[in-house]
Chain A
Amino acid sequence: MSSLLDIEKQAPHAAPAAVSAPFFARGALIEGEDAVHRSRDLGVDFATPRIDLDRIVHPRTEVPPLLNVPLAEIIDFLVETGRRISDPNNRFVRDCIDRMCATHVLPRAVLEHQVRVAAAYLDKRLLHTVVEQNFPDPRALDEWVARRDYTGRRSFVRAFAPRLVHVLPGNSPGVAVKSIAQGALVKAINLFKMSSSDPFTTVAILRTMADIDAGHAIVRSMSAVYWRGGDAAVERVLYRPQYFDKIVAWGGGEAIDNVVKYLGPGLQLVSFDPKTSISMVGREAFASEQSLELAADLASADVMVLNQEACVASRFLYVEGTRSEVDGFCERLQRRIAERAQACGDARPLDLDLREQIETLMMMDDDYRIWGKTDGRGCVIRSEEPVEFHPINKTANVVCVPSLDEAVRHVNVATQTVGFYPFDRMADYRDRLASGGAQRIVHLGEAGPSTIGNPHDAMYPLHRFVHWMAHEDGCDEKPRPAGEGQTRSDR
């Protein structure tokens, strides 16, 4: 079988409006317009080259190029990359934002801000901290670390460079930067499968890196291509343990179902699951007009993280109070959301389905109340139980609860961040929230930032990325009789 795959079976001539999206294969830029794809959300076309599968798989007979490049050098390279990404004269990034505006749901200013924020991740201290939090002994990335157990048995352990496929999400360009950095920190061979709503950012960053030093091992460790998620012609070929150790995938539903089919011995999944974030606002918010305004403002900040496209963005807000108190909160919350939406020029209309469901609730008299309209400028729905649709695009569901204890039962395995007010009640709730499935509890208004190097999705991802390899080096003295020492079979 030829390794050249025509991804879309349609004629290769690109429609005139198609934006070009080149690939990157182990250090080399691949240009071409062999296949035309459709971006979700906006329905814009983009044209890509064919995927040369042989070029993006690194044979196992060759050790990963980054293996013996010191971590310090990798970090320096990433820091230089960050500096160049934030340079307004960087033509790759400028070009990328131009193209992205044609395919992305978010407005230009938000995308530009995203790229700047993403570049900030490439900071020397930050990257060192991430590594230190993920590995008890980061030296294992650079060398075979010697250890000796209490029986006198010696060994060397290495956090060996893995082969990773990153199935990238399309909702935040920042994830591309982070994924490249994480892949580089663990010295992996990386294949980035880009998403149809952003088939540009990853390649733009990789081109920026190639511009620094085209021959550097870090550049030769990176490939980025697009195929339609679930396309068996590509996935059945690539998703094999002979080519990759782990699939690092974002999302759920069909996106994950497609990947799960290919898992088996030797090919594992590290999943960043789709998440819903919520807020919990205690009765203390109603202590004064000032505290109410403050709580509503903090809550609106959490709702509007990345204009509610991100997983950390709050969608359901459980508010402890009487119906009339909660209505007061809703009114202020809606006002703040609308202000934030207006400030960044975001007036994307709601999907027909969502609009329909909200409008139906409007008809339901007292059980539900709506502030704002379904016109995409910010809308708040107050109810007694959480609504069943997914509030998105500047839509918040405020659930009136007599006590926050009641809200805990709505925390489930999909809950990620819980923004909490007042802060001094957080410790009372964190165990119950974790037991329900939640992953983070934060000050209301601070859903976005997190302590550098903290776990993500209830794990330390870098620790899971690497291929942990042991080199057993015998024993200091005569091994003890069986049963007393550690043998391989009792692991």
Chain B
Amino acid sequence: MGEAVERLTRLVEAPDRYDIPFGDLRAAQIRAMNERFQERKSHIKLVEHRAREAGIREVRSHKEVVNLLLPHTAYKSYPEGWLAQQRWDRLSKWLDTVSAHRIPVNEVSRADDVDGWIEKLAAQGFFVSCSSGTTGKSAMLVASQADMSWCKKEAVATYSWGSGVKPARDRRIFGMAAIAHVPRNLATGEAYTAALQDPSCERFSYPVPPITVGALTQMVVLRKAIADGTARPGDIAAYEELSAARQKAVDAAVGLTAQAVVAARHHKIHVTGLWLGLYNVAKAVRDMGYSGQDFHPENSIYVGGGLKRAKLPQDYREFVYETFNIQPQRNYQNYSMQELHSGMPRCQAGGRYHVPPWVVPLILDKAGEKLLPVIEEEYEGRAAFFDLSLDGRWGGVISGDKISIDFRPCACGSRGPSIRDNVVRYADLEGDDKIGCAGTVDAYVRGVA
């Protein structure tokens, strides 16, 4: 790790980390990005290719680094067929093109299934997290041991700043969502438990079987088989049966969780999950006759992600907060993306997401090609970031998000850059009004999504 990277990432627990004006960071960030580039340019093949194409030997400005950013889709660019054909050798080779450290392809290629492959990689120090993308492909993100340690530290520090909760191991954590069983989630889960969980009792674990990468990709594999015409009716029926069984387990989990949380109502609790699960448990709690007044007034919450296509009543947020007696100041919100290893916590006073000094915000035009000039007012564009903390893969990522950024101080007093709480995906914005006679077999696959 270079000197500038080290200096910026060391700020992870500094109390004033969001209070440093962008202008004061500019030189250090450019130096740090160049350090990362010099370390990685001959290791990450895709970055090496980009640098060669753009003729870049050194990063001297924010503008120059734009040529070296990878779109978020880079981590989905492997052919899905390899999953179905169990081509772990090829997938390993593919992973090697985006990995900062050489993947020992031969050592990990002999696996029985995708979970086995991921285990073998982990044994070699390569931690692959897989997105639970409900539509289309799952991203595969490789990270190192150093990244896992970083995620643990960063997640808790960011949570603490955003929620105002000082970790005191005096809470009972209630997870209310089936979380993908991937290294990064396990690492942050472990860190939250160590920081918040009252050691006198066991952390409540959501009563559903763990969702492994194998389970996540099963649907992807079947979809591909249907498209290729190789799936037999029995394969589809078996999958539908499995889905129904999973749904049943999820439904049963709601009641069990509600009972457990009601039993713990006199203790300080921390609830976490996705809106759908939180809402369902809250509703079950209300149905049991309990509500806000029965719960501890210092309870806290962390919700990951948006609605994810769930259809809930208008007031779902208030309903959840009121049920578990969560005061607005302990409602933690965070803007991030799976390609980054750092979050941007929302402040209480300004309601904006704050970019930490080791994450370089690069606001691009809609096409994701050009850096927009920094101006003295709030402006919008496509979000791209360089996360200087990343060790196992490249930190520069172009997202699919449209954001509004402001480099002036926020109402909360922090002087670092901040992002408005109105992030949307370009894909959701545009819709698809396209019609043409040319198309793919995807249009012929029904019901496996």
- Chain A interface residues toward B at CB < 8 A: 40, 43, 167-172, 175, 195-197, 228-230, 249-256, 272-276, 309-311, 313, 352-353, 356-357, 359-360, 362-365, 367, 385, 387-388, 390, 392, 410, 412-414, 436-437
**How far does the alpha carbon of A304 sit from the alpha carbon of B413 in the complex, in Å?**
59
Contact A40 B433, beta carbon cutoff 8 Å: yes
Contacts of A256 in B (CB 8 A): 443
- What number of A-B contacts does a CB cutoff of 8 Å give? 137
- A360 CB contact (under 8 Å) in B46, B80, B367, B443: B46
Instruction: List B31-52 residues whose CB lies under 8 Å from chain A.
Output: 45-46, 49
Given A310-B438, A392-B438: A196 and B229 within 8 A (CB)?
no
Tell yes or no: B442 within 8 A of A by CB: yes
| Known A352-B368, A364-B97; contact A196-B433, beta-carbon cutoff 8 A | yes
Interface of chain B residues 331 through 376 with chain A (CB within 8 A) = 366-369
Find the B residue at minimum CB distance from A251: B435
- Complex formed: what's the CA distance from A363 to B48 in Å? 10
Q: A356-B71, A356-B77, A390-B440 in contact; A230/B434 too (CB < 8 A)?
A: no
Q: In the docked arrangement, what's the CA distance between A369 and B95, Å?
A: 18
A363-B432 contact, Cβ under 8 Å, with A275-B439, A353-B71:
no
Chain B residues within 8 Å of A, Cβ to Cβ = 45-46, 49, 70-71, 73-74, 77-81, 90, 93-94, 97, 227-229, 366-369, 431-444
Q: Check A253 against B433 for contact (C-beta < 8 Å).
A: no
Shortest 6 CB-CB distances between A and B: which pairs? A274-B439, A252-B443, A251-B435, A414-B441, A311-B437, A171-B436
Q: Report if A414-B443 is in contact (Cβ < 8 Å); known contacts: A169-B435, A170-B434, A367-B90.
A: yes
Decide: A273 and B78 in contact? CB cutoff 8 A: no
Q: A254-B432, A363-B49, A363-B97 are in contact. Are A310 and B439 (CB under 8 A)?
A: no
User: Can you identify 18 A-B contacts, CB atoms within 8 angstroms?
Assistant: A170-B434, A228-B433, A250-B437, A251-B436, A251-B439, A253-B439, A276-B440, A310-B438, A311-B438, A352-B369, A360-B77, A363-B45, A364-B93, A364-B94, A365-B93, A390-B439, A390-B440, A413-B441
Contacts of B94 in A (CB 8 A): 360, 364
| B436 contacts A169, C-beta separation under 8 Å | yes
Beyond the given pairs A276-B440, A313-B438, A352-B368, 17 more chain A to chain B contacts, judged by CB atoms under 8 angstroms and listed by A's residue number, are A170-B435, A172-B437, A251-B436, A253-B442, A273-B443, A273-B444, A274-B440, A276-B438, A311-B436, A311-B438, A356-B70, A363-B97, A385-B81, A412-B441, A413-B441, A414-B441, A437-B229
Q: Residue B49 contacts which of A228, A352, A359 (CB distance < 8 angstroms)?
A: A359
Q: Which residues of B contact A356 (CB under 8 A)?
A: 70-71, 73-74, 77
Bound CA–CA A68/B90 (angstroms): 66
Which residues on the A side are within 8 Å of B439 (C-beta)? 251-253, 273-276, 311, 390, 414
Chain A residue, CB-CB nearest to B442: A253
Instruction: A246 to B12: give the CA distance in the assembly, Å.
Output: 63
Q: Which residues of B contact A253 (CB under 8 A)?
A: 432, 439, 442-443
**Chain B min CB distance to A352 (Å):** 6
Q: Which of A230, A276, A388 has the most CB of B within 10 A?
A: A388
Whether A230 lies near B436 (C-beta < 8 A) is no
In angstroms, Cα B81 to Cα A175, docked, is 35
Q: Is B437's CB under 8 angstroms from A414's CB?
A: no
Smallest CB gap from B79: residue in A: A388
- Measured in the bound complex, the distance between the Cα atoms of B227 and A367 in whole Å is 23
Q: Whole-angstrom distance from the CB of B24 to the nearest CB of chain A? A: 33
Complex Cα spacing A310 to B436, Å = 8
Nearest residue, chain B, Cβ from A274:
B439
Q: Least Cβ distance of B232 to chain A in Å?
A: 15
A253 to B438, CA, bound (A): 12
- Chain B residues with CB under 8 Å of A388's CB are 79-81
Q: Which residue of A lies closest to B438 (CB)?
A: A311
Report the separation of the CA atoms of residues A273 and B438 in the bound assembly, to the nearest whole angstrom.
Answer: 8
Contact A170 B436 (CB under 8 A): yes
B80 surroundings in chain A (CB, below 8 A): 388
For the complex, give the distance between the alpha carbons of A229 and B433 in Å. 5
A180 to B32, CA, bound (A): 62
| Minimum CB–CB distance for B231 against chain A, Å | 12
Tell me the smallest distance from the CB of A277 to a CB of chain B, in Å: 8
Closest chain B residue to A253 by CB distance? Answer: B443
Collect the chain B residues with CB atoms within 8 Å of residue A43's CB: 366
Min Cβ gap A338→B in Å is: 18
**Known contacts being A252-B443, A412-B441, is A359 close to B46, with CB within 8 Å?**
yes
- Nearest CB on B from A103, distance (A): 13
CB atoms of A167 and B81 under 8 A apart:
no
Cα separation A385 to B83 with both chains bound (whole Å): 14
